[in-house]
Structures are given as C-alpha cells and as structure tokens.
Structure 1
C-alpha cells in the first residue's frame, strides 16, 4: 500500500492545516466556554471546498473519497479543534452526504447536497434510543404507514448530536414490527426530515466535554413524514445504514489522531520551555519522553489503519473490520497521548489556559462513541476470528 500523496492531495491537506491553525486552540477554547457551535470555522471549511471533498462534483463537491476526507479531518483537528472537529464532518458529509449520495433520490440530491456542501444547512442523525443503546435492532421508534401517503413517526432518541444547529435530520426507525420480519435486520428504514416540524421536540443533555456540539434527547409525537423523505430502501435500510456508520468511524478516527497529535505538540512545547533541576528542560528526561513516544507510535498505527480503511472504502471493497479496528486503537492512543501530555505539563495540564484539559474532556467520549470499545472487540471476535457470538 502506498500512501504517498499526490500534488493535489498535498495542496488539500495544506489548506486544511491552514484553516485548522487559523481557528486554533484559542478559538476552540472560547467556543467550548460558550457552548457555541463553531460556525465561523465550519463556514471557512465549506468555503474552501473541504466539506464536499467526498461528495459528487455534479452537486458541488470534489468527487474525491474517504481517504481525502480522513486526511482533511486529521489536519484540521491537529490545528486546534481536536476530536470534536471530526464531529463536524460526522454530522454533515457523513450523516447527510453519505445516505443522500448513495441512496437518495435525484430530487433529494439536487435540493440538499449543494446547501450541505456550502454550509447553508446542517444535519444530525437520530439513531440511538434509551432502551436500545448499541443494540440498534432493538429500536422501538416506529414510522407507521399513513393511508393518505407517507408515514407517522412516534418514539424517542437519545444522545443525538447538534440537533439545535441542524435543519435536517436523518431518522432511523422501524417501519415493520419485529414480529412481521423473518430477520431482525428487516423492517428498518431511513428518512431525512426537517428538524423544525410539528411533533418533533428535543432537550439538551448536560455533559463533560464536546461542549461546542450539543447532545439531546429527541421526541417524536405523531410527526408526519412525506413520501419523498424516504432515503434508501423501505424496510431494508439497515444494510444501507452500515455505510453511514462505517464511514462515521473513519472521520471519528481521523479526529482522534489529530487530537492526539495536537496534545503531543502542546506538551512538547511546554516541556522544552520548562526547566528544573539545574536548568535542563523537562523534555530531556526519559521518564517523560518514553510515555509520549509510545503514544506517538500508537497514533501512527491507528492512522495507517484508518487510511487503509478509507482506501478500501473508496475501492468499493469491505472495510468494516479495518474501520472498527482503527477506531479502537485511535481512541486508546489519543487517550494515552492526551493523558501523557497532561502528566508532562503537571498542574498546568489541568489549567484551561493550556488547552490540553479540553482535549482530554472531548476525547473521552470516543472510547464509547460512536461505538464502544467492547462492541468493537465483539465484532472482531465474531467477524475476524470466527468465534461464537457472545451477546
């Protein structure tokens, strides 16, 4: 595998790096403090054409792939945003762009993709439920067929990212009761609906990190869905949903790699300047060097696994195992890198003015989201090792 970059890819990554550094750690500290959506940063990303990198040219994108998208997210995250930067791509090019591009009608593509790419509209995805969690097939939210056309949606979702900033929502719901299906994966469909709609309500959840993007409980009370809002195959949307979830892993991992790299850079800068015990910089002590060096090696392994997953995705080959393994290693490697960076900085690592504490709070989420370490290990055991299913 050759991951050397073309001239166009180098230019694209340099553009992402410049934007990431323009909206650096001070900008993200302010957004975090105010719990404010980073709209200026996202608009700059869209204006540079980066949001549409993997979306079709005929609708305003660049027609590239997940490999380029991973490189973009990584560079932006390392500039200052950290792991939360990956969520901006998760909610828009992934939750909006992937299902519309791959499964949406031509009308849906014409109406929504250009505005997604230029930043005029934001997306979110309503999947997780309070009583189902990771077990998506246990969802209870139900879209009942309306004799007059369309569907009527009822149910509840939880931990839905950036609902309050979104105009469109990808909703995953049952359209047939479990008793009516021959397999658990049947009877699930996807819809793209307006967030501002009668019967749709939401309330924020207070949380430790990722403050620039809210998380909400969402309630559907007789929400009407039009016939043209179905995306993908009625009753058979679960397999199509996996394309959304697996590409979500790729941008999550890229954000984590960028966050770990950013933490390392901040820690090394601090440690090179901090002198104790005879005037030597603390960065010269192996007791501080080795943990960060180990984390750096782990991050590079996660990065290569992620680029390989993205490459396979772009080739149309199976990539679920690679994407999941990359996310598993990246969440651990980023956590180690940020923890070791904080430890290297001592008390100042705990201070908001030195930024690592935000990276620490934000990255912690991704040890169990968008999929937990335990469920990834279950997946590897069953799908890659051929062991019996344990859950």
Structure 2
C-alpha cells in the first residue's frame, strides 16, 4: 500500500498555492471587514482554470475527481484565506454535480461553461428555516403553469446569494402527504436569480464574512421547463449524488483552516520570548500543538481515503461522514490552541488566529451536524436501530 500524493496531485497543490500567495492577510481582513466578496481571488482562480476541476472536458473542465478537488481546496484554505477562500469557489465543485449527471447536453453547455469560465456565479437554495436538515419537509412549492412552473417559498443559509447570477433550487412539486416516499415529489431547477421576484437578505454572522449567507424569499418566480434538472419529482435523489463529495470537501477545507492556525501558532511560539526563553521551548506550549498536529494529520488522510473510495466507485458514505466529523473537531481544536498560544494577542485581529477560530466552528455544524453523522454511522456501520 502506497499512501502519498502523485506528482500530478502535488502539482495541483503547488499551482493553487501560487495563486493564493497573491492574496495576503490584509486582503482577507479587508474583505471580511467590509463584507466584500473576494472578486479578485475568484477571478484569479477562474483564470487559472481551477473552477472547472471536476467539470467535464466538453464544457471546459478538467474532469478530475473529488480527490483532486480536495487537494485544491485544502491548498486554498491553508493559504491565508480560510473558509472565505473556500466558500467563494466551493459550489463549483459539488453544487453542479446533479447537472453533470442528470442534465441534457444542451443544459450542460448552457449552464456549466459560464461557471467554469467564472462568467457566472451560482448559489444553492435547498435549506429552509422550518425544515433544516429534514429536507423532505421543505415548503417551497413549484406549481405547474403554461411553459414551466411558478415558485414561491423561502430558503435559508444560501451562500453567495448577494453576487449570484443563478440559483440551484429544490422545490416540492407534489405534496409530501401525496407521495409514496417522503423523498419523492421534489424537483430540482437551475435558473436565473431574478431579483424582481427573489429577495436576498444578508444574514450577519460570526465569521466567513467575505462570503455572504442569506435568507431568500421567493414570490411568484417563473421557471421555464427548460431550467428543470432531470425528471419532475426526482430532485432529492439527484442531490444525493453530491452529498458525499460535499462532506469530503468541507472536511478537508477545515483541515486547511486548522493547519494554517497551527502554523501561525508554531511560528509565534518560536519567536515569542518570555522569561528569557521562547515560549515554544515549554512543554506546556509544545504538547497541545503537537497533539493538534496529530489530530489534523489523521483527519486529513481520512478525507483522502473517503475521496479515493468515491472516485473509485466504492461506497463512501461512512468514510465521508467520518472525515467531516473528525476534520471539524480537529480544526476547531487546532484553532482554539492557536488562540491560546498567542495569549492576549490571540484575541487581536492582527495575528489572524481569531478569524480562523471563528471560522473553525462552521464545519462542526454545517452542512450536517455531528449528531446526525454519529447517528448515520451507528445505524449504517454498527447496525444499531435508527434513533430518529
């Protein structure tokens, strides 16, 4: 068994880091402070061809796997930008997967080429305020009308909605009570974000403020039938194709955040002199940081293990969920220890670890909670009875 990155995968890591090196701490602080989308970074990643890393070659992509996408996103988050760097481009990697698998050739060309070129941005309208992770209980409705559908409803935590041109929208076309299974009767659309019919209201949040999150209100949005992905009523099943890649990517992005924080803490510990010696000479500083490294390293390889399984057509549900779980905890632990290593200066924006600490809470609660992950593993791996 050989566990290492290939030369091609190392080249991905190097190439992404070279672009990210153009955007320093001050750039990300300014974007965070002014609630400004990192447009220059987004443009640089698009020009470098990275937005299409998992997209088919016929629409301008590289047709690479989740493993390569994970390596790319780890490089992005560990190079100053944190989750703002990840979230600015994240949807290009997992969001359009339903389009890649289930859309027509005409739809793929019309929708994916602008995404790959960075000419259009997309947002993801699935989560709702009253449904949360119980996706089968969404209330956004798409009623049949001549030539298409009329949509009304609400979405929550829709990232990049302030700058998006299109929205991936999950709706109910058949009431849940009328379906044989609760996962039936939902339909997926990819359509222009018409701001005359859609209000996008920014949510002020704890961190990752360079990339907006929003409450979305839809009132009388007409969606042509040509903007429906696949068959009516099969939308939920199409989204399942992207769940494991999303968990893997969120996990390895968290590792990048944690490793950036850990690197900053180690540098500070080498340079900060107290009582005539660097604080990093004290085991009280060394041991927590060394422990954080061990947790991050183990979670990193779990992420790549899950990505390898997915790319090779193997069952990856348990590993993808475990990877996200372990990575979220390891990143939070590393960022917490980084702040504590800096002492009082860890609370100051100047050293950046407070920003990374705030962002490190995100992968512990999104896109799926730790509790649901543990319930999934208990049921599917340990063969225990379903608890909810």
Q: CA deviation at 1:75?
A: 0.9
Question: Counterpart of 2:367?
Answer: 370
Q: CA deviation at 1:42?
A: 1.3
Question: Counterpart of 1:311?
Answer: 308
User: Matches of residues 258-337 of structure 1 in structure 2 within 5 Å?
Assistant: 258-277=256-275, 279-337=276-334
- C-alpha distance in 2, partners of 1:328/1:5? 23
CA contact (8 A) 1:129 1:157 kept: yes
Q: CA RMSD in A?
A: 1.3
1:384 aligns with 2:376: no
CA contact (8 A) 2:69 2:93 kept: no
User: Matches of residues 46-57 of structure 1 in structure 2 within 5 Å?
Assistant: 46-57=46-57
Question: Counterpart of 1:223?
Answer: 221
Question: Counterpart of 1:155?
Answer: 153
Residues 195-204 or 361-370, more deviating: 195-204
CA-to-partner distance for each residue in 1:212-235, whole Å, 9 max, x for gaps?
111111111121111111113321
- C-alpha distance in 2, partners of 1:381/1:75? 32
Q: CA deviation at 1:197?
A: 4.8
User: Matches of residues 190-269 of structure 1 in structure 2 within 5 Å?
Assistant: 190-269=188-267
- C-alpha distance in 1, partners of 2:231/2:65? 24
CA contact (8 A) 2:52 2:92 kept: no
CA-to-partner distance for each residue in 1:296-323, whole Å, 9 max, x for gaps?
1111111111111111221122212111
CA contact (8 A) 1:103 1:231 kept: yes
Question: Counterpart of 1:349?
Answer: 346
- C-alpha distance in 1, partners of 2:251/2:218? 31
TM-score (norm 1): 0.96
SS of 1:82's equivalent? helix
CA contact (8 A) 1:169 1:194 kept: yes
- C-alpha distance in 2, partners of 1:286/1:64? 43
Residues 326-335 or 54-63, more deviating: 54-63
1:130 aligns with 2:129: yes
| Deviation >4 Å, runs of 4+ | none
- C-alpha distance in 2, partners of 1:318/1:229? 31
CA contact (8 A) 1:92 1:124 kept: no
CA contact (8 A) 2:51 2:93 kept: yes
SS of 1:160's equivalent? coil
User: Matches of residues 18-97 of structure 1 in structure 2 within 5 Å?
Assistant: 18-95=18-95, 97=96
- C-alpha distance in 2, partners of 1:82/1:354? 14
Unaligned runs of 5+ in 2: none
- C-alpha distance in 2, partners of 1:365/1:114? 30
TM-score (norm 2): 0.97
What is the aligned residue count? 388
Unaligned runs of 5+ in 1: none
Q: CA deviation at 1:85?
A: 2.5
**Inter-CA distance 86–320: structure 2 relative to 1 (3 Å threshold):** farther
Q: CA deviation at 1:106?
A: 0.9
- C-alpha distance in 2, partners of 1:120/1:50? 13
Aligned mate of 1:360, from 350, 357, 362 = 357
- C-alpha distance in 1, partners of 2:385/2:333? 31
User: Matches of residues 11-22 of structure 1 in structure 2 within 5 Å?
Assistant: 11-22=11-22
SS of 1:323's equivalent? helix
SS of 1:224's equivalent? strand
CA contact (8 A) 2:25 2:352 kept: yes
